Structure 1
Amino acid sequence: MKKASILMILGSLLLLGLFVFPLWNIELGAPQYPEPLGMDIYIDGIQGQNEFDIQNIDGLNHYIGMKTLPKPEEMWEFTVFPLVIGGMAALGVLIGLLGYFKKVSHKWFFGWLILMTVLGVLGMYDFNAWMTDYGTNLDPKAIMKLANPDGTPMSYKPPLLGHKKMLNFDAYSYPRLGAYLMFLGMALTFVAGYLGWKRPERP
């Protein structure tokens, strides 16, 4: 159980990487931009991949009526997500310590993992909802009004994961190092729960 508990603690601590490294990245490439435009999404805000990327993306979005990229104080998620991640990391470490001293069983490890998975799914749902609003709720007074072949307004929603063609831009959306550290941490907590289940009494 001690080895399982140490893995539980290490897995939980890996969540703290989200305070340093980006969770997600969206990149826009087009022939007129030799270097793609991109934005790194952190749990507490959005930063440009390069120095002027945010200004350039907002400038492009202005012509088609998209909102400017939100600042940290403009989205409740950028205040709540750090609290959730910090709380889950602290809770995981506490459960790991209690497991080390045989105060709780491996079931608590799995319980933490299930809760973290639910929170992750809700976070992705919220992220996708934000992108949907961002890409479809356009200013009717925009300079450019583009429509699909059937006459419906064109959507500029970036893909949640993968590649999407938007006009002459190729949009790419993929996890970054913070997300991979989180996934690794969750994998370690699963291994911890498995070891605690298979060998609960071993030191």
Structure 2
Amino acid sequence: MTWLDKIIGPRIPDSVLHRERRRFRRPTLLLGTAALLLLISIFFPYWRIRLFAPQYPGGLVAKVYVNRVEGDVREIDGLNHYIGMRPLEEAAQLERSLSIILIVAMALLVAGAIYVHSPWAAVLSLPALLYPLIFLADLYYWLWNFGTHLDPRAPLSSSVKPFVPPLLGEARGPVSRSGHLGHRTLAGHPGLYPDHCRPLLPPQGIQAVLRSLCPRGAGIASRRCCCSW
């Protein structure tokens, strides 16, 4: 048996596939749907931030996609300029340049797990499973980086304390050095996101793969800044 045979696992006899069709169809549908949703997520915003200011009572919104930022970017950058925050377009340039390639690669790995009849199916799906956590961690890093590294030459930089816009939820900010709250409310929340794929991945998806593609009885080795989604 070659190393490739060990990774792919044993072939399922046609008689078994026909007799237990539902058992083998479920992991195929779960993993296939997860791979498709990952690809579809490219066309939707992953995260949004809404900013309320006296001159903009209706609020300003920036929508963060995996490879670009859309919305009221110019207006938000104009307000942030006064406190010394860099333009939004400067954030996560490396991540945005690689995002499409990485998402397509993760989708292919998840789709490839359909044809793997061994615990390696879980390994192939692991990047997609960790992707939501990595995205949130990277997003928080850039929020922290932008909010705590203000340009000291900005008109209001000397009167504003460094701050971190909220990843999720709502907050008031920035705060002046005298302790007074700023007049802007920030709110962060998620947009459409590959987190929708998580119910289709481990434990449901991968566990279904391992249970269905391994012989029964055989042990399995490893089983008002407001930000919004």
TM-score norm. by structure 1 comes to: 0.80
Q: Distance in 2 between matches of 1:119 and 1:35?
A: 33
Query: Residue in 2 aligned with 1:172?
Result: 187
- CA apart distance, 1:41: 0.3
Matched, 1:23 2:38: no
What count of residue pairs does the alignment treat as equivalent?
A: 183
- CA apart distance, 1:35: 1.4
Measured against aligned partners, the alpha-carbon deviations of 1:70-102 in whole angstroms (never above 9, x if no partner) come to 169x81111112111111011111222x14xxx
> Where do 1:183-194 residues align within 5 Å?
183-190=195-202, 191-194=204-207
Question: What is the SS of the residue equivalent to 2:165?
Answer: coil
CA contact (8 A) 1:8 1:109 kept: no
> Where do 1:1-203 residues align within 5 Å?
1-48=24-71, 53-70=72-89, 75-96=93-114, 98-99=115-116, 104-105=117-118, 107-147=119-159, 154-166=161-173, 167-177=182-192, 179=193, 182-190=194-202, 191-200=204-213
Change (3 A) 1:127 1:79: same
Measured against aligned partners, the alpha-carbon deviations of 1:2-21 in whole angstroms (never above 9, x if no partner) come to 32122111111100122110
- CA apart distance, 1:188: 0.8
Change (3 A) 1:122 1:185: closer
CA contact (8 A) 2:170 2:188 kept: yes
Q: Distance in 2 between matches of 1:86 and 1:164?
A: 35
Name structure 1 gaps, 5 residues minimum.
Answer: 148-152
Identity across the alignment (%): 29
Change (3 A) 1:201 1:139: closer
TM-score norm. by structure 2 comes to: 0.72
Q: Distance in 2 between matches of 1:114 and 1:29?
A: 39
CA RMSD of aligned residues (A): 2.2
Q: Distance in 2 between matches of 1:10 and 1:61?
A: 40
CA contact (8 A) 2:150 2:157 kept: no
* AA partner of residue 192 (structure 1): G
Q: Distance in 1 between matches of 2:121 and 2:168?
A: 29
Structure with the greater relative contact order (CA < 8 A, sep ≥ 6): 1 or 2? 1
CA contact (8 A) 2:170 2:187 kept: yes
After the TM superposition, list the runs of 4 or more consecutive aligned residues in structure 1 that deviate by more than 6 angstroms.
none
